[in-house]
Amino acid sequence: MPKLPAPPLPAPLKTPPPRPGRGNGKTGPLEEAQQAGITVVDWVDERTSLSGAARWMMFRKVPKGTNWFYTLGSATMFAFLSQAVTGVFLAMYYRPDPAGGAYESIRYVTNEVFLGQFVRGMHKWGSSVMVVLVFLHMGRTFFFGAYKYPRELNWVIGVVLLILTMAMSFTGYLLPFDQRAYWASSVGVNINGTGPLLGPYLSDFLYGGAEFNATTLSRFYAIHMLLLPGLIAALIGAHLYLVAKLGTTAPPWQKAGRPRELRETEV
Ligand code: HEM
């Protein structure tokens, strides 16, 4: 069968002609390295058309008056990413074993592992940073009226993200399995148990039984490092999709300008 000619590339995907290197008409190693990067991106894009989605997500008009308070959502997202990365390294050493293994593995990370104390510190302090940021971000969206039509669904997704973030802090607190972790978590789960209707079921679910037992720690660990991060990542995706689709809200003090068409007819 005769081979069909390849369809022509759209202009932005065409590899630009090589730029001459220092005066001798040849390309230098730097240009070649740059070209290699462009060629790989082109190759992937030609097969996936992902650049369209990236452009849709990244190149957006933002309302006049956008200010530093609008960075709080992204700051929360980066706090989450930092927790995810440091958490992966901690998981390489952590053992959810209530008979001394959990405490010992945390002691080992802190005192023996190269940069272990630093990574653990980042994860521990990062959790507080994320909680503070998520509240500040919620405050920003509330005071700027960003919860109103058409962004109610994004507010609801945000509320779920807030609850999941608090649940991350709660489940993470037990993992060092020292006296403070044990008693604080017991108090927390018992408080949950006093909730109306669902309370007792929730506490049974968290304990993995009627009271603290051998499976409680591994249950908290699975919820902390698999279930909640997965849910948070998926919901952040939905949250950002809606932000990109609906755009961000202008600050409440920003007055609406006259549309361009009307301004152009003015004398
Ligand atoms: C893990 C937690 C969260 C992350 C990573 C996150 C991320 C973001 C980002 C990046 C934006 C766009 C930029 C900005 O306006 O700051 C945004 C917008 C928004 N977020 Fe969140 N968010 C989170 C939690 C929340 C919470 C708890 C609420 C409220 C209950 C919320 C409600 C909103 C709303 C309504 C918008 C639209 C803002 C506008 O139209 O101006 N988000 N979020």
169-211: pLDDT as tens digits: 999 999 999 999 999 999 999 999 999 999 999 999 999 999 9
pLDDT at 36: 79
pLDDT at 58: 85
Residue 54 scores a pLDDT above 80:
yes
User: Closest Cα to atom 22, ligand 1: which residue?
Assistant: 73
pLDDT at 23: 53
C-alpha 109/C-alpha 177 separation (Å) is 14
Point out the ligand 1 atom lying closest to the alpha carbon of residue 72: 16
C-alpha to C-alpha distances, 52 to 13, 125, 186, nearest whole angstrom: 12, 38, 50
C-alpha 97/C-alpha 11 separation (Å) is 59
> Under a CB-based contact definition with an 8 Å cutoff, are residues 102 and 175 in contact?
yes
Reported as a pLDDT band with limits 50, 70 and 90, residue 140 is very high
pLDDT at 13: 62
The pLDDT > 90 percentage for the chain reads 74
Residue 10 scores a pLDDT above 70:
no
pLDDT at 207: 96
Residues 6+ positions from 109 with CB-CB distance below 8 Å: 90, 93, 94, 116, 117, 119, 120
Q: In this structure, what token pair is assigned to residue 203? A: 């506490």
- Using CB distances shorter than 6 Å, the residues near ligand 1 are 70, 72-74, 76-77, 80, 134, 137-138, 141, 144, 146-147, 151, 154-155, 158-159, 161-162, 165, 232, 236, 239-240, 243, 248-249
Reported as a pLDDT band with limits 50, 70 and 90, residue 237 is very high
pTM reported for the whole predicted model: 0.86
Model confidence over 74-129: pLDDT tens digits? 999 999 999 999 999 999 999 999 999 999 999 999 999 999 999 999 999 999 99
Residue 267 scores a pLDDT above 90:
no
- Alpha-helical (H) ranges within the chain are 29-48, 50-58, 72-91, 101-111, 116-143, 152-174, 179-193, 199-207, 216-222, 228-246, 260-265
How far is C-alpha 126 from the chain's CA centre? 13
Our mutation pick for probing the ligand 1 site, out of 141, 143, 246, counting the most ligand atoms within 8 A of Cβ, is: 141
Reported as a pLDDT band with limits 50, 70 and 90, residue 21 is low
Q: In this structure, what token pair is assigned to residue 209? A: 């039984």
C-alpha 231/C-alpha 227 separation (Å) is 6
User: Closest Cα to atom 40, ligand 1: which residue?
Assistant: 248
How far is C-alpha 187 from the chain's CA centre? 29
Mean pLDDT of 214-218: 95
Mean pLDDT of the residues in the chain: 91
Reported as a pLDDT band with limits 50, 70 and 90, residue 37 is confident
Q: Does the domain formed by 68-179+216-246 have CATH 1.20.810.10?
A: yes
CB count within 10 Å of CB 165 equals: 22
pLDDT at 31: 76
**Better pLDDT: 10 or 29:** 29
Q: In this structure, what token pair is assigned to residue 77? A: 């997202």
User: Closest Cα to atom 26, ligand 1: which residue?
Assistant: 158
How far is C-alpha 140 from the chain's CA centre? 18
pLDDT at 4: 66
Domain ranges of the chain: 68-179+216-246
> For residue 93, which phi and psi values (nearest 5 degrees)?
-115, -20
Mean pLDDT of 155-160: 98
Residue 25 scores a pLDDT above 60:
no
Q: What spacing in Å lies between the alpha carbon of 255 and ligand 1's midpoint? A: 23
C-alpha 72/C-alpha 146 separation (Å) is 14
Q: What spacing in Å lies between the alpha carbon of 225 and ligand 1's midpoint? A: 23
C-alpha 182/C-alpha 215 separation (Å) is 13
